[in-house]
Chain A
Amino acid sequence: MVTELNESNFDSFVNDNSLAIIDCWAPWCGPCRRMGPIIEELAEDLKGKAGVAKLNTDENQAIAVRFNINAIPTILVFRNNVLVDTLVGLRPKEDLLSALGFQ
């Protein structure tokens, strides 16, 4: 199950996971809806290796502004509390795994 983040648990999630992968999405965004199942699979594949979560940018606009999100879907990648990568756009799981250094 992919954790749903909001203003109250975002920072602690990033802090608690040495590798945190956060899928930023919104309900009306077609590509985001297609990304959903891919993120679910990614979470399953990376169990024990990374924390995978989702952030609804519609309901959490302050966080979107904080990380300069201008397009969704966007995946934020944090290592040890530092934003190390921002992956924009719909992409297959294999691409994500390779961008994250798992392939």
Chain B
Amino acid sequence: MEADVFVIGCGPAGLQAAIHASRKKASVAVAGKAASSGAYGAVIENYVGVSRRPGEEILAEGRAQAESFGASFLDMNVISASAADGRFRFVMEDGTEVSAKAVVIATGISRKALGIPGEKDLLGKGVSYCAVCDCNFYKGRKVVVVGNDSEAAVSARLMTSYASETHWVRWEEAADPGLASKALDAGAVEHRSKPKAVEGDGKVERLVLEDGESIPTDGVFIELGARSSAYIAMDLGVMPEIDDTIRIGADCSTEVQGVFACGDVTGRPWQVAKAVGQGCVAGMSAADYARRLE
């Protein structure tokens, strides 16, 4: 599909960007899942005019507003992104391709670590947060990929090309079913339990699960959530800051023309009010940029 403005993320920042871009008559497509937004499970009580309201309700109403102005929602995460010939291209979880003139990155902040015993101590000694980076070191060795979402499915499939044994530990079915099947068909062995601890003496030896199972392994690849904003930004040519935030100008523009960012991904404070304010600016800037290309 084609869009003038592609908004990645459907939390408060992404929704406001979608609303303002579509109000400016740009065609707008929105990626992401509302439940991934930090606001989704929160109760909002410090946003002007809102004394106490579940974030989930605010997001549902914001989405309906954006839809009423013409924005379309894909309800999927981005798997990969690229920039060429002045256009931005994206591949979604189900393989759908999106081409856009302008992009708004409103991916928020994501949790990377599991926070289980052994995880921190064994970083670089078998624990990794980047399958693409480190797959090469696990040729002919045993690995476990941990994560529920499509990013974990893609990583598990990748690891089957390198490792002698690939295990995939997940406790929810959040990944696209097609991508999950590809990983399992490629030989990844599925385990349905939460991880409890990474164990080993100086290097990873096993991953212990909450159901009591212990998987002997050389590597534990932790791939939580969607493809991180930092990687999407880099795919588009934007270099994130060391803390994964994206630097923006007053018009929410990034260092790459046509790429804008708003909300938590631009740094603290992590507040709905700030996200919405930046979303408004980013949406208008992106729509203006797309129009100038015509």
Chain A interface residues toward B at CB < 8 A: 26, 28-34, 38, 57-58, 61, 64, 68-72, 74, 86, 88-92
Chain B interface residues toward A at CB < 8 A: 123-128, 130, 132-134, 136-138, 203, 219, 230-231, 234, 239-240, 242
> Which of B137, B230, B234, B242 makes the CB contact (< 8 A) with A71?
B137
CB–CB A72/B133 < 8 A: yes
In the complex where A30-B234, A64-B137 touch, is A70 in contact with B239 (Cβ < 8 A)? no
CB–CB A58/B137 < 8 A: no
CB–CB B136/A30 < 8 A: no
CB–CB A26/B133 < 8 A: yes
Q: List 8 other contacts, CB 8 Å, given A64-B137, A89-B123.
A: A31-B130, A34-B240, A38-B242, A70-B125, A70-B134, A70-B219, A71-B124, A88-B124
Residue from A29, A33, A58, A74 having most chain B Cβ neighbours under 10 A: A29
In the complex where A70-B219, A91-B242, A92-B242 touch, is A31 in contact with B133 (Cβ < 8 A)? yes
CB–CB A57/B136 < 8 A: yes
In the complex, A96 Cα to B138 Cα: how many Å? Answer: 27
Taking CB atoms, residues of chain A closer than 8 Å to B125 are: 68, 70
Taking CB atoms, residues of chain B closer than 8 Å to A92 are: 242
Taking CB atoms, residues of chain A closer than 8 Å to B234 are: 30, 33-34
Interface SS majority for chain A: loop
CB–CB B133/A30 < 8 A: yes
CB–CB A58/B128 < 8 A: no
In the complex, A38 Cα to B243 Cα: how many Å? Answer: 13
In the complex, A86 Cα to B202 Cα: how many Å? Answer: 13
In the complex, A92 Cα to B244 Cα: how many Å? Answer: 12
> Which of B124, B127, B219, B231 makes the CB contact (< 8 A) with A74?
B124
> Which of A34, A38, A64, A89 makes the CB contact (< 8 A) with B124?
A89
CB distance from A29 to the nearest CB of B (A): 4
In the complex, A70 Cα to B242 Cα: how many Å? Answer: 21
* Residue of B whose beta carbon sits closest to that of A64: B137
CB–CB A30/B231 < 8 A: yes
CB–CB B136/A32 < 8 A: no
CB distance from A60 to the nearest CB of B (A): 12
CB–CB B137/A32 < 8 A: no
Taking CB atoms, residues of chain B closer than 8 Å to A31 are: 130, 133
CB–CB B130/A29 < 8 A: yes
Taking CB atoms, residues of chain A closer than 8 Å to B219 are: 70
Taking CB atoms, residues of chain B closer than 8 Å to A89 are: 123-124
CB distance from B110 to the nearest CB of A (A): 14
Taking CB atoms, residues of chain B closer than 8 Å to A91 are: 242
In the complex where A34-B239, A61-B136 touch, is A70 in contact with B130 (Cβ < 8 A)? no
Taking CB atoms, residues of chain A closer than 8 Å to B231 are: 30
In the complex, A95 Cα to B232 Cα: how many Å? Answer: 26
CB–CB B242/A34 < 8 A: yes
* Residue of A whose beta carbon sits closest to that of B240: A34
* Residue of A whose beta carbon sits closest to that of B228: A30
In the complex, A90 Cα to B242 Cα: how many Å? Answer: 8
CB distance from A34 to the nearest CB of B (A): 7
CB distance from A54 to the nearest CB of B (A): 15
In the complex, A32 Cα to B230 Cα: how many Å? Answer: 13
CB distance from A2 to the nearest CB of B (A): 18
Q: Can you sample 5 A-B contacts with CB below 8 Å?
A: A28-B132, A29-B130, A57-B136, A61-B136, A71-B127
